[in-house]
């Protein structure tokens, strides 16, 4: 934990940047880390192998995001993360004032990797139907991605003052983007929104099914097979599929 400081605020250096003030710096200067994070299209994969002195704020946030998906928000704790990264707590305090700052940085990283970067990639595809197909493949790519979504959503549901605002912002971004795709396919505004809610509801439902460990969605292969069903149900075929009352 963060030593009792419960205030959530943005990350900032708590120690002077002087090399000698960083705990264990001389010990870790030439060490390397090899942290293997589960790959997802949205989160990406990373295999870090570089001097400890180069360990960045983003590296801590990535490690925290993986831990969050595995064990919920309580798993985002300084000492276990430091042990996994192979560093002392001094490396953490080089970048963050407390655990709360790490939580904020981590949920903001999730927002970028799982939403902003995904949308940016999709925008390179011209056809909106192809964009929807690509989105479905990104969203339902890996079981561990859905588990991370479930863990962050659970934290937001408790009313966590840092997580909930970011989570709600992400939901709004995603729904607005999918609505826009259906609009580009020719759906009237109100119908496009309803189609977007149906598509996003299917995603959130999958998150819960994975969380429960239900049969049929326990492996990445089963998840990807399900995408074909979503393609059939959620991507309109021709103008009749997106029309209807607005």
pLDDT in tens, 1-12: 444 444 344 433
**Tokens standing for residue 37:** 């994070």
CATH topology of domain 19-99: Arc Repressor Mutant, subunit A (1.10.10)
Can you give the pLDDT at residue 55?
A: 82
Can you give the pLDDT at residue 82?
A: 93
Can you give the pLDDT at residue 201?
A: 95
| Residue 165 to residues 60, 160, 175, 196, 228, Cα–Cα distance (Å) | 21, 9, 16, 21, 33
Cα distance between residue 104 and residue 99, in whole Å:
9
Low-confidence residues in the chain, pLDDT < 70: 1-54, 238-246
> Is residue 151 within 8 Å of 143, Cβ to Cβ?
no
Can you give the pLDDT at residue 24?
A: 37
Can you give the pLDDT at residue 164?
A: 97
State the alpha helices, DSSP H only, in 96-162: 99-111, 117-122, 128-139, 143-157
Can you give the pLDDT at residue 54?
A: 64
Residue ranges covered by each domain of the chain: 19-99, 125-242
pLDDT in tens, 78-136: 999 999 999 988 889 889 999 999 999 999 999 999 999 999 999 999 999 999 999 99
Can you give the pLDDT at residue 6?
A: 45
Q: Beta partners for 51? A: 32
Checking phi first, is residue 211 left (phi over 0); if not, alpha (psi -120 to 50) or beta? Answer: alpha
């Amino acid at each position: 934990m963060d030593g009792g400081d419960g205030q959530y605020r943005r990350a900032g250096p708590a120690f002077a940047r002087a090399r000698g003030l960083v705990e264990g710096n001389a010990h870790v200067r030439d060490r390397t880390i090899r942290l293997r994070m589960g790959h997802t299209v949205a989160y990406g994969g990373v295999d870090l192998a570089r001097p400890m002195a180069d360990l960045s704020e983003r590296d801590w946030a990535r490690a925290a995001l993986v831990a969050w998906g595995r064990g919920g928000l309580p798993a985002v704790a300084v000492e276990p993360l430091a042990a996994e990264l192979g560093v002392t707590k001094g490396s953490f305090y080089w970048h963050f004032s407390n655990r709360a700052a790490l939580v904020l940085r981590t949920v903001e990283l999730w927002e970028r990797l799982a939403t902003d970067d995904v949308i940016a990639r999709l925008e390179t595809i011209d056809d909106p139907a192809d964009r929807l197909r690509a989105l479905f493949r990104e969203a339902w790519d890996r079981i561990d991605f859905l588990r991370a979504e479930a863990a962050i959503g659970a934290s937001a549901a408790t009313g966590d003052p840092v997580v909930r605002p970011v989570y709600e912002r992400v939901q709004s971004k995603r729904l607005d983007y999918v609505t826009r795709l259906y609009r580009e396919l020719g759906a009237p505004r109100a119908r496009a929104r309803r189609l977007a809610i149906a598509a996003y509801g299917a995603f959130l439902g999958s998150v819960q099914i994975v969380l429960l460990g239900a049969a049929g969605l326990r492996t990445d292969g089963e998840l990807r097979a399900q995408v074909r069903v979503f393609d059939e149900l959620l991507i309109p075929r021709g103008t009749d599929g997106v029309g209807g009352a607005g």
